[in-house]
Amino acid sequence: MLTAGADGSAGWVRQPLCGPVTELGASVAVEDAGGVAVTCGSVLTRYAASGAWLGEQTLEAQPCASGVCSLTTAGVATVPGRGLAVTGWQRDGAGDSWNQDAFLRLVVP
Q: Is 9 within a domain?
A: no
Total domain count for the chain? 1
Q: Is 82 within a domain?
A: yes
Q: Is 100 within a domain?
A: yes
Confidence at residue 97, expressed as pLDDT on a 0 to 100 scale:
74
Q: Is 95 within a domain?
A: yes
Q: Does residue 7 surpass a pLDDT of 80?
A: no
Instruction: Give the mean model confidence (pLDDT) for residues 89-102.
Output: 83
Range of the domain at 72: 20-107
Whole-number mean pLDDT of the chain?
A: 86
* 53 within 8 A of 64, measured Cβ to Cβ: no
Q: Which residue has the higher pLDDT, 56 or 98?
A: 56
Q: Is 24 within a domain?
A: yes
Q: Does residue 86 surpass a pLDDT of 90?
A: yes
Confidence at residue 21, expressed as pLDDT on a 0 to 100 scale:
67
Q: Is 7 within a domain?
A: no
Q: Is 88 within a domain?
A: yes
